[in-house]
Structure 1
Amino acid sequence: MEDGIQNSSFQEPADIKLSPAGLSFLASAAKWANFLAIVCFIFIGISAITMVSLVFGASALSLGADEYVTAGALSTFGVLYLLFLAFFCLPIYYLYNFGSKAKKAIENRDSIQLELCLDALKKHYKFIGIMVIITIAFNFMGLVVGVVLGISDAFAGV
């Protein structure tokens, strides 16, 4: 391992300064982060309005007796989707915080704001990383369940 890099322990650096190119890269990343966060918040808002209308409008649907989807199932799906949207507001909030705090750090040459923006970026990626791990685990469990059910179905058909 290199001399200046430690595992996860914090060592106070002698002095860290960003070059003009580094500040430019940070400013560009902050602009894109704010843009993406705002677009995501708009998408979440539109999706939430759609799901609220589904939840309240599902009872007004007149589905025939032969339909597979009931109004209760649509309402349940709508409520679960609203919870899913609320859950994903957190990483988008962290992304927005990164962008806004990075902009303040650059404008004011404030190292505290720079630390706060990097902390928000760390929280954003930590959240996304945990969600990727959970998604991989669910996919793996689905694969195992599918294989087990396929094998049991093959033996039941013999």
Structure 2
Amino acid sequence: MELIENKGITLSEVALHHIKQTAKWAQFLAIIGFVGTALIVVAGLFMGTVMSSLSQLGGSEMAKFPAAWLSAIYIILGGVYFVPSWFLYKFSTETRTALLGNDEGVLTEALSNLRRTFKFLGIMTIIIIGLYVLVFVGLVVGAAAGAAF
């Protein structure tokens, strides 16, 4: 990593207050994310059980979808949801530690976790947009193929 030489940045009390408030909101969102992760994983386990019960009863077509796959998808989604929550939590706790101890190194690590949060969310956004484009193209191709017959 290249070091950029500068005269340093001095933060005002207002800037430090904003950082402290940001850390509080980040911690709130991280905790909500952890709860959401737990709910997604529990729902995955529950949905797998429900789907296998429905398939045994001869339920709908959706019930024929492999229950283990559905559970695995939910658990994977829970893991994906956990990652940015963890980075936000690390940002919030390290920021509070840095501000209490006036430690620039810890604040640098906290900001690195905030960067990781946004990088992860940005990559996930690109992936989701890519999936939308693929689905749209697939729908157009499917409609064109269906119209041709």
- Please, what TM-score do these two structures have when normalized by structure 1? 0.84
C-alpha distance after superposition, 1:3-39 (max 9, x if no partner) = xxxxx95413211111000000000000000000001
Deviation of 1:134 after TM superposition, in Å, equals 0.8
Per mean C-alpha deviation after superposition, the further-off stretch among 70-79 and 59-68 is 59-68
Q: How does 1:2-151 map to 2 (within 5 A)?
A: 10-61=3-54, 63-65=56-58, 67-70=60-63, 73-151=66-144
- Structure 2: distance between partners of 1:145 and 1:72: 22
* Secondary structure of residue in 1 paired with 2:15: helix
Opposite residue 34 of structure 2, the aligned amino acid is F
The answer on whether the counterparts of 1:94 and 1:121 sit within 8 Å (CA) in structure 2 is: yes
- Structure 2: distance between partners of 1:70 and 1:82: 19
Opposite residue 34 of structure 1, the aligned amino acid is Q
- Structure 1: distance between partners of 2:95 and 2:26: 10
Relative to its length, the structure with more helix (as a share) is 2
Larger Rg: 1
* Secondary structure of residue in 2 paired with 1:23: helix
RMSD of the TM alignment (CA)? 2.0
* Correspondence for 1:3: none
Opposite residue 5 of structure 2, the aligned amino acid is E
Opposite residue 133 of structure 1, the aligned amino acid is I
- Please, what TM-score do these two structures have when normalized by structure 2? 0.89
Deviation of 1:140 after TM superposition, in Å, equals 1.0
The answer on whether the counterparts of 1:54 and 1:75 sit within 8 Å (CA) in structure 2 is: no
Per mean C-alpha deviation after superposition, the further-off stretch among 43-52 and 132-141 is 43-52
Per mean C-alpha deviation after superposition, the further-off stretch among 86-95 and 60-69 is 60-69
Unpaired segments of 5 or more residues in structure 1?
1-7
C-alpha distance after superposition, 1:59-91 (max 9, x if no partner) = 344654362123653332121111111122111
- Structure 2: distance between partners of 1:12 and 1:38: 37
C-alpha distance after superposition, 1:101-131 (max 9, x if no partner) = 1111111111001100110001110000001
